[in-house]
């Protein structure tokens, strides 16, 4: 694929929230720059959605296409990669209604994810946090952060104990919401 760049690599052409992916939130050679980010074409030499975009006037987001929703979105499938694909249609619908608001919410989610990874990752929770931040509604995430400030931060325990408590709360909240936090393989 020839060079592909976009103004907003955090939110993909296809509806993925790239900035909530473990590969976006890592260092080293496996780091993904997001859709159309710096060196995207090196990380992703082929992408059928980018090819489709080029055929339809180089749209920034699939919801801008006159053929959206197309066959690609009739069935998202039941498999994920590094990030869950369960919300791509919903993401595109919300962004299509108000892109500015959608990106503002995405910025908040990205900030929450960064906090969880930096302060409450025992080395095994990054993927769990990425999935939870993607799938939880913003109100549930704010409740989670209130819990962290109110209950976890005030405890006089080690970092691993705090991380364990946050992971337990994330799993508990997912159960309340009926959300499966496993990637579909």
In a domain, 50, yes or no: yes
In a domain, 4, yes or no: no
More confident residue, 130 or 7: 130
Domain count, the chain: 1
**7-40 tens-digit pLDDT:** 899 999 999 999 999 999 998 888 999 999 988 8
Please state the pTM of the whole predicted model: 0.92
In a domain, 84, yes or no: yes
* Predicted local distance difference test score (pLDDT) of residue 77: 72
In a domain, 183, yes or no: no
Can you tell me the mean pLDDT for 51-60? 92
Q: Is the pLDDT of residue 145 over 80?
A: yes
Nearest to 109 by CA among 80, 149, 84, 142: 142
Can you tell me the mean pLDDT for 152-168? 91
What's the CA gap between 183 and 77, in Å, rounded?
12
Q: State the residue range of the domain holding 149.
A: 18-177
């Amino acid at each position: 694929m020839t060079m592909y760049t976009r103004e907003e690599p955090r939110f993909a052409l296809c509806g993925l929230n790239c900035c909530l992916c473990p590969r976006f939130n890592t260092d080293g050679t496996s780091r993904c720059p997001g859709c159309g980010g710096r060196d995207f074409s090196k990380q992703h030499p082929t992408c059928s959605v980018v090819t489709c975009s080029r055929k339809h006037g180089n749209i920034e987001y699939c919801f801008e296409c006159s053929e959206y929703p197309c066959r690609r979105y009739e069935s998202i499938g039941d498999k994920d990669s590094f990030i869950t694909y369960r919300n791509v249609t919903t993401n595109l619908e919300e962004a299509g209604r108000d892109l500015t608001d959608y990106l503002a919410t995405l910025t908040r989610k990205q900030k929450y994810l960064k906090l969880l990874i930096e302060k409450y990752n025992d080395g095994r929770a990054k993927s769990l946090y990425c999935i939870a931040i993607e799938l939880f509604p913003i109100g549930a995430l704010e409740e989670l952060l209130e819990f962290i400030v109110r209950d976890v931060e005030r405890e006089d325990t080690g970092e691993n104990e705090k991380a364990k408590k946050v992971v337990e709360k994330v799993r508990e909240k997912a159960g309340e919401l009926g959300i499966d936090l496993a990637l579909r393989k």
